[in-house]
Chains A and B, each alone.
Chain A
Amino acid sequence: MRLDGKGLPVIAVSTLTAAGLAGRGLAQRVLEKSLPRPSELAPPAPSRPEDIRQKKLMSRAAWFSALVMRGALEEARWDEARAEIGAFFGVGASGAEMDEVARLVAASMEDGQFSLARCGREGLDACNPLFAFQIMNNFTLCHGAILEGLAGPNAAFFSRGTGTVTALEEACAAIMSGACERALVGGADTALHPVTMAELEREGFLRQGLTPAEGAAALAITSTAEAPLGYVEAVRVFPVERPRGTLVPRTGVLRDAAVPAALDALEDQPCDVVVLAPWGAPAREALLDLPQVLEAELSVDTSLTLGESLAATPALAWAVTLDLLAHLDKPRALVLSAGPDGDLGVVVLAKGGA
């Protein structure tokens, strides 16, 4: 989707990374490589009574999401008419607490074996009755929307990369069509959940250099603004061909797809900064030449410092990019994410200001 005129203004950003909960300044730390290595985050604990109450039903990613949503709303100063604000997020796998699963399974064991009969009789009663709310994928979006009163158009996309780019595209489409004037967009996820780690291991991603991480980012996008942080000029998802039965395309195929995807999104406009978010070594190799082909002055690989946080990765890369454009006073950047879903997400961002 190519947006008319200057594009859609982004007026606020909030991120949660190893650097903590922040609105700005992430780019500088990425450039300086001064961020702690990706690891389990220690997000702020809930303090408001409604947060404390609802947190009991939340997965880690849902709490991350609620925090960045609140951060973006506060920075945007969107205190009024929240019922008409849209919310579009890329969300990850269900994040059940392993203690809950362990309680259920342990109470279902009989003679050292899992017993279905015992599961029905006793196992189910051993876990939190509201356990299901913790594991539903869309609650990563919904808990934040409930806490903040966001009742406008919305969508939750499962994401290992491009789902989050789709969320941005749909938010832009909702604003362009007049379905809403303001929307929060982003992603929140953890690749450090034990079951996700096991999945990434079995799929071969960890062996190929995927650095599992967790995080979240939210952007506040609006139809008009006087001095925004930046503009979304274009957003597109590019499917990439892969052999049937394989998760990701071959490196050469991804390389061949990346250049036309970038040029298509840029539509002959120059690009000063290229920000890449490849999931691991093969994707990184495929995107290696892109900054040179685009004659960009600067290229940054956010995955090297922030790791791969699946649904959150593209949104974190956009946040870093908006920061970079302001910090370096550059007019335009291309952000290309290549997650473990195998497809490409391309977003063109322009510097804001009056």
Chain B
Amino acid sequence: MGRRRAVITGVGAVSAFGVGYDALANGLAAGRSAIGPIRNFDARTFPTRVAGEVPIEKTSASLLEKHRGVLLHIGEAAAWEHSGLLRDRKVCFGLIAAAEAWRHARCGTAERRAALSIGLGLEQAFLEDFADQLDGDEIRIGAGDLAGPEGVRFRSRVDLTAEKIRGVLGLSGRVAVHVSACAAGGTAVAHAASLIERGAADVVLCGAADSMVNPLGIGGMSRLGAPSPRAEPSACRPFDRRRDGLVVGEGAAMFVVEEEGRARTRGADLLAVLAGSATTQDAYRATAPRPDGSRALAAMERAVRRANLAPSDIGYVNAHGTGTPLNDMAEAKAIRALFGDVPTSSIKGAVGHLMAAAGAIELAACLLPFTRDLLPGTAHFEEPDPECPIHVIGPRPLQRRVEYVLSNSFGFGGQNVSVVLGRPR
């Protein structure tokens, strides 16, 4: 019996370009950027005022109800809204992207045994709820009378999105919630491939959802000094000599991943092969990536090896490329060392840094080389940096046919993941 291989047969996305995978694909193919002023809350006094925000001001029951494939019971979404659950924007994004991927892959009853492997960001904290419990300089929260009224209060639980996707799509397989910060989306997809390859699942719905475009998310990132101080649409310019920080994004990307033989038998469209992946840790500092990029290099090297490929087989690298001075320099060193002059880009200048969902949305972008022979560009890249000696694709996408691509995601805390996708045959 041959090796079991995992293939992608469905994709769904929600991004700053809008709802739906086509919005993302068309936006990237046109070389556009979707970064703009934050609109879902009044950020005028915040140090950061731009984001890769999904163009939806309020996540609501009616938003969910209008999306085909989100199979809701009557009154269910309204009850969620009433309970406060939809205040966490990533719940809606995850549900919509999951439903789109499910529909795109033409999944039905037979696929309901699918496992779910999803990367999710931090709980969303609701500062106004905490304010209600403020007593002097102390917040009084706890069991009993201090628990607050019913519903989602103070913060949303990390696995809420997973719980709702499982319920709405009626999935009966196992659930894994990856919380590897900005590496979570990549690790969730890599995990899905691993489950398929070792026979632990035949179908896995995987991907990630996140939103930190909220007061504490934006405020917390600003305090870290990670976002660009410029409140301009060009705030994030990965690998550019003038880069000065990231732009926070939000959204989701979900995939249906299944065993290749099964997918072919049922006549599913094969979008890409999940050829290999690897994780490593920087084990360096809580506050910065390892400057020599050596553990990122190790992740890329191992992912390529596990795909039974040579570095020269990789035709495009989708970089983590946050637009921060330290990340891009370390990553460029690692890419140069392994791949030389391979065309490389980061889509974070166009959609922002989706945090836990970054790896997933970037893997969705990595389908373009196979579906349209297009390598996505790097929005706002104008001045090459000698400290980043790699072949950076400029703002316009590059028309080229490649057989294999590699996508990097590196998380706060030092978790690295590299995933190799191949053109289906």
Contact = CB atoms under 8 A, between A and B. Distances in A.
Interface of A: 1, 54, 57, 82-83, 87, 91, 93-94, 96, 98, 101-106, 108-109, 113-114, 116-121, 123-124, 127-133, 135-139, 141-143, 145-146, 148-158, 160, 162-163, 166, 170, 173, 177, 179, 194-195, 197-202, 206, 212, 237-239, 241, 244-245, 247, 341, 343
Nearest to A129: B223
A118 B177 CA distance: 35
B73 interface: yes
Interface in B239-292: 278-287
A201 B143 contact: yes
Contacts of B44: 117, 120
A149 B43 contact: no
Given A105-B127, A124-B222, A160-B159, A116 B137 contact: no
A170 B117 CA distance: 13
A245 B191 contact: no
Interface stretch (B95-103, B179-187, B334-342): B179-187
A24 B161 CA distance: 39
Given A101-B139, A130-B287, A91 B179 contact: yes
A158 B280 contact: no
Contacts of B146: 194, 198
Nearest to A239: B174
B155 A195 contact: yes
B175 A173 contact: no
A158 B191 contact: no
Nearest to B140: A194
B326 interface: no
Contacts of B279: 153-155
Given A114-B131, A136-B412, A198 B142 contact: yes
Contacts of A113: 131
Contacts of A106: 134, 137
A114 B127 CA distance: 8
B220 A135 contact: yes
A197 B221 contact: no
B178 A155 contact: yes
Given A98-B139, A102-B139, A155 B180 contact: yes
B286 A133 contact: yes
Given A197-B143, A202-B148, A149 B223 contact: no
B147 A197 contact: yes
Given A105-B134, A114-B128, A120 B412 contact: no
A151 B283 contact: yes
A132 B414 CA distance: 15
Interface in B103-159: 120, 122-123, 125, 127-128, 130-131, 134, 137-139, 141-144, 146-148, 150-151, 153-155, 157-159
Given A94-B123, A102-B134, A102-B138, A152 B412 contact: no
A142 B414 contact: yes
Contacts of B231: none
In the A-B complex, the 4 residue pairs with the smallest Cβ-Cβ separation, listed nearest first, are A142-B413, A120-B45, A114-B131, A201-B147
Contacts of B187: 155
B200 interface: yes
A151 B413 CA distance: 11
B304 to A, nearest CB: 14
Contacts of A199: 147, 154-155, 157
Interface in B189-220: 191, 194, 198, 200, 215, 219-220
A100 B65 CA distance: 38
A237 B122 contact: no
Contacts of A150: 281, 283
Contacts of A120: 43-47, 215, 219
B172 interface: yes
Contacts of B47: 120, 124
Contacts of B194: 170, 173
B423 interface: no
Contact of A94 (B46, B76, B122, B173): B122
B233 interface: no
Contact of B220 (A132, A201, A238): A132
A244 to B, nearest CB: 5
